[in-house]
Amino acid sequence: MNRYQRLTAAIDVTRTYRLGSEEITALRGVNLTVLPGQFVAIVGRSGSGKTTLLNILAGLDRPTSGDVLFEERSVMAMGERELLEIRRHKLGFVFQSFGLLPLLSALENVELPLRIAGVKARERAVRAREALEIVGLWARARHRPYELSGGEQQRVAIARAIVNNPPLLLADEPTGELDSVNARAIFGLFKEMVQERGISVLAATHDSALLEMADEVKEIRDGVLHDQAAQGLRFRD
């Protein structure tokens, strides 16, 4: 892939929701580009449109107007099958609440996307181990989620998200349930994965203390995305 090709881009994305007679505009003309190997953070208060934007970039929701490009291809022009292929093979997701299955071990949770993709047992074992090593948790592979701290559970969730080697990781408030030390560790891990493995990360957060680790910071206010670098990191929730 061309190094300068946009990995994903939002082009004039607007999203409105209709609630009875009321219309809510969650995103207003959002333009955003993520390049290969870039760590972009989006900061914004609750209700500012972060989840709506990430869901649209993930192909889980579609814009009311505008478009999303993934590897320069229009997502609006794609059918559900193609979108599903992209979600399965090109994207990893991390959520605030980890989303691990409680009865499975860390290793089994990480393996799950590979099982769904039909990868054979031997290769699953190799790749799941590698993913757990990347997040520094191979030693806890046999533990169930309730035996792990919040920060460790989120690292397992990150291992699960990257086990398919996706070029893009989308993270929606991944540190929302963590203390500041673990929150920094998660953003540090994102930074390391971007630098050492060349994946791209797009992470939404309301914690401005984490932004210095990103290559680029955007702020979303009332559905409008602003460049933030010039004015410094003044956002407070």
The residues that touch Mg ion, with contacts defined as CB under 5 A, are 50-51
Cβ distance to ligand ADP smaller for residue 37 or 176? 176
**Near ligand ADP by CB under 6 A: residue from 36, 44, 63, 92:** 44
**Near ligand ADP by CB under 6 A: residue from 5, 47, 88, 147:** 47
Beta strand pairing call for 91-95 and 22-34: unpaired
Cβ distance to Mg ion smaller for residue 93 or 137? 93
Q: What are phi and psi of 166, to 5 degrees?
A: -75, 150
Angle at 181 between CA 165 and CA 147, to 5 degrees: 70
SS3 content of the chain, % helix, strand, coil (to 5): 40, 25, 35
Nearest approach, Cβ of residue 228 and ligand ADP (Å)? 15
Cβ distance to ligand ADP smaller for residue 49 or 174? 49
Cβ distance to ligand ADP smaller for residue 24 or 139? 24
- Is 50 among the residues that bind ligand ADP (CB under 6 A)? yes
Report how far apart, in Å, the C-alpha atoms of 221 and of each of 30, 47, 52, 173 are.
11, 9, 13, 16
Burial class (CB in 10 A: 0-12, 13-18, 19+), 125: middle
Q: Which does 52 bind (CB under 5 to 8 A by kind): Mg ion, ligand ADP, none?
A: ligand ADP
Cβ distance to Mg ion smaller for residue 50 or 140? 50
By CB under 6 A, what part of segment 3-32 binds ligand ADP?
17, 19, 24, 26
By CB under 6 A, what part of segment 51-90 binds ligand ADP?
51-52
Nearest approach, Cβ of residue 53 and ligand ADP (Å)? 7
Nearest approach, Cβ of residue 46 and Mg ion (Å)? 7
Nearest approach, Cβ of residue 172 and Mg ion (Å)? 6
DSSP track, 50-62: HHHHHHHHTTSS-
User: Can you tell me which residue has the tokens 């914004």?
Assistant: 44
* Token pair of 237 as six digits: 């929730």
- Is 198 among the residues that bind ligand ADP (CB under 6 A)? no
- Is 226 among the residues that bind ligand ADP (CB under 6 A)? no
CA–centroid distance for 32 within its chain: 15
Q: How many CA atoms lie within 13 A of 61 on its CB side?
A: 19
Helix (H/G/I), strand (E/B), else coil: 14? strand
Cβ distance to ligand ADP smaller for residue 47 or 198? 47
What pairs with residue 220 in β-bridges? 225
Q: Which does 63 bind (CB under 5 to 8 A by kind): ligand ADP, Mg ion, none?
A: none
Nearest approach, Cβ of residue 233 and ligand ADP (Å)? 18
